[in-house]
């Protein structure tokens, strides 16, 4: 097994060079001489700073890691190796643990980009920066003197640093520009802005709307990437909060000034075809969009008036998340065996209960997909239909016309069903019919 030893020579000139990185990797037994020769001949895939970084060039070549039994020498492994060589801590950047508002106030985007550093934590005494150039630290002394705080450096993946620099500072800039454009706006001006947002879909809006559009686009794509089940937009006295529910737990993601939060809420209401002017009563809607990978994703929108404005919750229904194989549901071998035994019985009832985000919907849809066969009539009664599936006959509850769960179950019993899934048991009648 190859050992990584802190290098006394690597990075002597500050910024990393490809030749010295290759030499150290060969010295540590991570890279063969033949692969090193090929890398020297290989031109960078681009000319920006990221493409020229030695670790990125090596990772893109997909050379073999000689210490890992034929595995490729990937960017994460290279970044951890670099941290060991520099004698620093390695950090896998988790954006959910970073207070974006706080860190983007620490240093300007131009300064962070110039030195390829990303602020990841801040306290009254210390600032933590992620860098993929752990030997080019001249900036740290300057910052310590200016900000009167200790500077702690950790090593991170250069691609992550580049990406989150663009994302964090980009969305913060959009928030500030949107706030500046609304400075001094009255409630009636805000209503006019909401009307303009709707006109924006036909190209009849002023340029300032693009900042709000960018915030909403970033919010949705960020939530999809983090595999959030819900997005909460919560107005507060001083600022609005964006929170994601991930694995059943709510995480604070961002803070928005109240005026910008109102504009973001209006944008979401437009996309979900809700009445933008109606703020006094709850509304429900839907948005269909696509993830960055091209997957179709549906969001269920619910608005509610609160003391500080409209609260919005968006429930995310991603087919790749909602439907999984049993092996991906988190069952142990014993639990999976018991579950299969229950659902494969020709009769009986199975109750699925649990708190928000515990996996009820995923378990039910995955089970129905598993059970659905051409010779079976699988029916559901739901409020709302959380994912449209061609294998099922799905009924949407409509209280306005008297179609509640009890009546829905009563109707399905006359439809020659083999399997019925009842979304909720809200009352005694539904329980008795079930």
DSSP string, 49-95: HHHHSHHHHHHHHT-B-TTTTT-B--HHHHHHHHHHHHT--B----G
Q: In this predicted structure, which of 181-185, 229-233, 397-401 has the lowest mean pLDDT? A: 181-185
- How does residue 43 score in pLDDT terms, banded at 50, 70 and 90? confident
Hey, CA dihedral for 42, 45, 46, 52, is it positive or negative?
A: negative
Q: Are 57 and 130 in contact (CB under 8 A)?
A: no
Q: What DSSP string describes 339-354? A: HHHHHTSSS-------
CA–CA distances in Å: residue 297 to residues 98, 146, 225, 309, 316: 26, 46, 12, 27, 7
- Give domain 186-317's CATH number out of 3.20.20.70, 3.40.50.150, 3.30.450.90, 3.30.540.10: 3.30.450.90
pLDDT per position as a tens digit, 14-28: 788 888 889 989 988
Please tell me the pTM assigned to this model: 0.63
- Give domain 321-433's CATH number out of 3.40.50.300, 3.40.1160.10, 3.40.50.9100, 3.40.50.2300: 3.40.50.300
Domain boundaries, the chain: 18-86, 100-177, 186-317, 321-433
Residue 318 is encoded by which pair of tokens?
């991603």
- Does residue 341 have a pLDDT over 80? yes
Q: In this predicted structure, which of 116-125, 159-168, 321-330 has the lowest mean pLDDT? A: 321-330
- Give domain 100-177's CATH number out of 3.30.300, 3.30.70, 1.10.357, 3.40.50: 3.30.300
């Amino acid at each position: 097994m190859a050992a990584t030893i802190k290098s006394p020579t690597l990075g002597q000139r500050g910024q990393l060079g490809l030749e010295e990185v290759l030499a150290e990797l060969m010295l540590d037994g991570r890279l063969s001489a033949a692969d090193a020769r090929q890398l020297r001949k290989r031109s960078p895939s681009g000319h920006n700073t990221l493409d020229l970084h030695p670790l990125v060039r090596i990772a893109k070549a997909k050379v073999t890691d000689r210490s890992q039994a034929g595995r490729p020498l990937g960017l994460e492994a290279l970044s951890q190796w670099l941290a060991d060589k520099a004698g620093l801590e390695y950090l896998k950047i988790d954006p959910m643990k970073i207070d974006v508002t706080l860190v983007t106030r620490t240093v300007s985007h131009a300064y962070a980009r110039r030195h390829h550093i990303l602020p990841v934590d801040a306290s009254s005494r210390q600032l933590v920066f992620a860098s993929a150039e752990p030997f080019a630290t001249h900036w740290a002394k300057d910052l310590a003197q200016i900000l009167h705080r200790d500077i702690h450096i950790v090593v991170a993946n250069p691609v992550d640093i580049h990406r989150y620099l663009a994302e964090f500072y980009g969305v913060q800039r959009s928030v500030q520009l949107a706030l500046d454009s609304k400075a001094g706006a009255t409630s009636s001006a805000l209503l006019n802005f909401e009307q303009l947002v709707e006109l924006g879909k036909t190209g009849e809006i002023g340029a300032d709307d693009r900042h709000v559009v960018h915030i909403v686009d970033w919010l949705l794509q960020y939530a999809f990437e983090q595999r959030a089940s819900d997005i909460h937009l919560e107005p507060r006295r001083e600022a609005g909060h964006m929170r994601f529910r991930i694995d059943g737990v709510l995480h604070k993601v961002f803070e928005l000034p109240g005026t910008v939060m109102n504009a973001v809420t209006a944008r979401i209401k437009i996309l979900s075809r809700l009445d933008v002017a109606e703020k006094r009563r709850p509304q429900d809607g839907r948005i269909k969009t696509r993830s960055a990978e091209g997957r179709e994703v549906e969001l269920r929108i619910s608005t509610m008036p609160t003391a500080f404005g409209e609260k919005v919750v968006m429930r995310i229904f991603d087919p790749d998340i909602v439907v999984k194989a049993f092996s991906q549901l988190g069952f142990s071998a014993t639990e999976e065996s018991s579950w299969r035994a229950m659902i494969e019985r020709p009769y009986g009832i199975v109750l699925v209960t649990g708190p928000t985000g515990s996996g009820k919907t995923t378990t039910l849809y995955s089970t129905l997909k598993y059970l659905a066969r051409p010779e079976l009539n699988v029916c559901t009664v739901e409020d709302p239909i959380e994912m449209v599936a061609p294998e099922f006959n799905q009924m949407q509850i409509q209280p306005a016309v008297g179609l509640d769960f009890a009546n829905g179950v009563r109707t399905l019993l006359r439809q020659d069903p083999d399997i019925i899934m009842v979304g909720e048991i809200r009352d005694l009648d539904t329980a008795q019919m079930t």
